[in-house]
Each structure stands twice: as structure tokens, then as C-alpha cells.
Amino acid sequence: MKLETYIAADNIISPLGFTSEENFEQLKNKKTGVQKIASSPYSLQPIYAALIDEKKIDTEFKKLNISNPFTRLEKLMILSISAALKQNQAIDIQSKKTLLIISTTKGNIDLLDPAHTAGFDKKRVYLWETARVIQEQFKSPNKPLIISNACISGVLGIIMAKRLLECETYENIVVCGVDILTEFVVSGFQSFKAVSADIAKPYDETRDGISLGEGCGTLIFTNRKERMQANVTPILVKGGAISNDANHISGPSRTGDGLLLAIEKTLREAQVPASAVDYISGHGTATLFNDEMEALAITDAKLASVPMNSLKSYFGHTLGAAGVIESIVGIHSMHTNTLIGTYHFNKLGVSKPINILKTTQQANVNTCLKTAAGFGGCNAAVLFQKQAVL
């Protein structure tokens, strides 16, 4: 029999805060982490982006009393994983039965720039070397699994955790999604002319591109129900699937067929009909093509009336971290029965009448569908559900 996957702990580090609760409060208060950055090492022109305060990272990191040198990216990972582990003492990271999954698109890519190398070995830019230093820091006996699959990396990490926890090999899986703001990534998206001149406006008729961001999210899963935190309604991962558009390397499908396939496979695995989905946490990058593609897929999946939001105008697009951070917000929406309005969304600008949440509101949220799409035509969906109260 397949074992169930329960959520055991979570943490978000973003410009909006260093805990999930802090972040969720900020979202409820309509606070965005995306700011105008006038002059920066990241861009020749001023940009809107979500940047975590360096001093805050260092202050928090000092509290951990770690003497080894770590990169900015690794500090975020260590802070986030430590915070999540601290929440749930039943999860033993040093157990052979606990696996760490790292989801990232670019890892320590800032080290490629000679100005940022800062004494770190050249090898440190390899993702497996980052994984090794994190493994060593947490004294984990297992080599971490590294997923680098563009902007679906975070959701893919969650799907992978569910698949691995279905059998007995592991009892706990820690999924850490992370990416930092770098000149490497900013200049690339600027060359694509994909960066918004303002804070991104997901699904809006005046949307003109993405806002980039940085962040780290950690989700801990277990297939041992007794390791759930007390006084918390159990939330399970019930299904997940990945697909490819096979259309274009840097543009989404024009029909949404790839994302539709991932959603259908996810609902089928979860044995949840479209009519039972209470909330969709969309990808909503605020590019013309992405948001339109999502609207088509959501409509074809018979989910057009389901309340949906994008969190990209709060966190920016955090690439490999996005799927994890946005799933955690979805999970807190389920815990608090509170759906977050889409910041900067005003008037629907996609061709299908999907139900984009404008304002934060109370609603019964028992089932949450998280979707993601990325460069390389990849799509992913994952379904979270509250355990039925008997």
C-alpha cells in the first residue's frame, strides 16, 4: 500500500520575513517585498525586484553560531532548513531515513563573477558542491537530491518528495527551494525584455513582464502521521505530475495543453474531481504569454470558477524557490481559511474569465492546487488536501 505524505514543518525566508507566519501576515496586510532598486550591483538600470536585506541575513546567521564561511545562497538555506527543523523535533535530519532535496535553478551562480568569488573554491559553483556543504552542515548521512528544472524546480521537489515517501525507503524528506538575485539572472531576463517596468501585475490587462526576486522555502514531509505537529490539522500531498509542452524552449504553449495535462494527471492521482478544488495557487509571472497560457489550461481543466491568485507581485519570481514558497503560503491559507488577494491585480487581461482573487478573504480551503510552468516548456502541478475529519 502507498504511504501518505504529511506536511510536518515549513519556513519561508523572503524580504517579507524570516518565518512562514511573518510572511503570511505581511501578505494579509497587502505588503509587497518588491521594491524599486535605484542603483544596484544587479542591474545597470533601476529595477523592481524583491531583495532580502543583507544585514538581516547576517544578523540572523550570527545567531546560529556557525564559524565556517558560507555563500549568501547557502546562508539562506541553512537559516531556512534550521528554522523548519526547529519547529518539529520529531524530524531527525541525521537519520538515514531522512533525505534532503534541493531545488534551485542557478545555485551559487554569483561565484562565476570574479568580483564575487570572495575566497570560495572554484568548485563551489557546482550544485553538488553546494549540496555537499549543506549536507555536511546538517550532518545528514544521505547525499541530497538536486533538482534543477527551471521554474518548476520547487514544485518538482514536492512531487519527488511524495513519490519517494510512498514507499518505505525514507520516512522524512526536507525540500529546500532556493535562488538568489544575481546580475547573471537579471541581465538575462532584461535581454529577453521580460522584466516589468513596475511591480509585476499578474493576470492584469496592463501586465508587462516579471519582477525578479530571491528567497528560500523549506517544506518538511513525513509518511509517519505521529510526527505531525500537535494541534495542527493534517495536510497531505495527494497528487502531483509533470509534463512538457514540446512547443518552444523559451515560450509556453499557445494552447495550455502541457499544463492541462499536468493538472489532469494530478487530479486523477489525487482522486479529486475539479469541482472539489477550493483554491489555485497559480504561476502568474505576469508575462503576456504565461498568464494567457494558464488561463486556457485552467479553463480547459474546468477550474475557471475556482479562486486563484499569483504571489509573484509579493515575492517577485524566485525561480527555483517559487514553487516551495508559494506552496507554503497555500498551506497557510488552508490552515487559516484565508485566501490572499493578488497584489497589483486590477482588471482581468486574459482571454478566459478565470477567477483571480483581488482581495484577501475568508473561505473554506480544504483543497489547494499549486501549478507551475517554466523555460523548456515544463509544467507541473501538485495537490494539497486537509485530511477528512471523521
Partner 1 sequence: MSQEQTYITSFCSLQSGQVNINHSLAFSEEKIASPASSAEAIANEGSSAEALPKERASSAEALPKERASSAEALAKEDSDFLKSVYKHYQLNYPKFYKMDNLCKLAFITSELILKNNPLSEKYKAEDIAIVISNSASSMDIDQEHQRTISDKNNYFPSPSAFVYTLPNILIAEIAIKNSIKGENAFFIFDTFDSTFMSEYVNSLINTGKATCCIAGWVDFYEGNYHAFLYTVEKQPGILNRKHAPKELEKLFLHQS
CA angle at residue 139 from 222 to 74, to 5 degrees?
90
Q: Is 244 in the site for partner 1 (CB under 8 A)?
A: yes
Residue 83, amino acid: A
**CA count, 13 A, side-chain hemisphere, 54:** 4
Q: Is 163 in the site for partner 1 (CB under 8 A)?
A: yes
Cell, residue 368: 489547494
Give SS3 for 385.
strand
Asked if 261 and 292 count as a contact pair (C-beta separation under 8 A), the reply is: no
Report the nearest approach of partner 1 to the CB of residue 71 (Å).
Answer: 16
Number of C-beta neighbours around residue 114 at 10 A: 6
Q: Is 133 in the site for partner 1 (CB under 8 A)?
A: no
CA distance 366 to 208: 33
Give SS3 for 4.
coil
Dihedrals phi, psi of 317, to nearest 5 degrees? -85, 110
Q: How distant is the alpha carbon of residue 271 from its chain centre?
A: 24
In the complex with partner 1, the residue whose CB is nearer, 115 or 389, is 115
Residue from 133, 146, 181, 195 that binds partner 1 (CB under 8 A)?
Answer: 146
Q: Is 242 in the site for partner 1 (CB under 8 A)?
A: yes
For partner 1, which stretch binds (CB under 8 A), given 163-171, 211-219, 230-238, 310-318?
163-171
Residue from 29, 39, 67, 191 that binds partner 1 (CB under 8 A)?
Answer: 191
Size of the site for partner 1 (CB under 8 A): 54
Instruction: List the one residue out of 356, 358, 332 whose CA is nearest residue 24.
Output: 332
Cell, residue 279: 483554491
What residue has cell string 518565518?
Answer: 19
In the complex with partner 1, the residue whose CB is nearer, 241 or 295, is 241
In the complex with partner 1, the residue whose CB is nearer, 245 or 294, is 245
In the complex with partner 1, the residue whose CB is nearer, 60 or 129, is 129
CA distance 386 to 34: 31
Tell me the C-alpha to C-alpha distance, in Å, between residue 367 and each of 21, 281, 307, 375. Answer: 20, 11, 11, 28
In the complex with partner 1, the residue whose CB is nearer, 225 or 268, is 268
Report the nearest approach of partner 1 to the CB of residue 65 (Å).
Answer: 29
Q: Is 136 in the site for partner 1 (CB under 8 A)?
A: no
Give SS3 for 363.
coil
Report the nearest approach of partner 1 to the CB of residue 379 (Å).
Answer: 9
Q: Is 122 in the site for partner 1 (CB under 8 A)?
A: no
For partner 1, which stretch binds (CB under 8 A), given 66-74, 229-237, 258-266, 328-336?
258-266
Q: Is 149 in the site for partner 1 (CB under 8 A)?
A: yes
Q: Is 126 in the site for partner 1 (CB under 8 A)?
A: yes
Residue from 90, 112, 274, 288 that binds partner 1 (CB under 8 A)?
Answer: 112
CA distance 310 to 326: 9
Report the nearest approach of partner 1 to the CB of residue 189 (Å).
Answer: 8
In the complex with partner 1, the residue whose CB is nearer, 296 or 356, is 296
Residue 333, amino acid: S
CA distance 313 to 327: 15
In the complex with partner 1, the residue whose CB is nearer, 44 or 232, is 44
Q: Is 249 in the site for partner 1 (CB under 8 A)?
A: yes
In the complex with partner 1, the residue whose CB is nearer, 16 or 263, is 263
Instruction: List the one residue out of 54, 12, 11, 48 whose CA is nearest residue 33.
Output: 48
Q: Which parts of this chain interact with partner 1 (CB under 8 A)?
A: 2, 44, 105-107, 109, 112-114, 125-129, 131-132, 145-150, 156, 160, 163, 166-167, 183-184, 187-192, 241-250, 257-258, 261, 265, 374-378
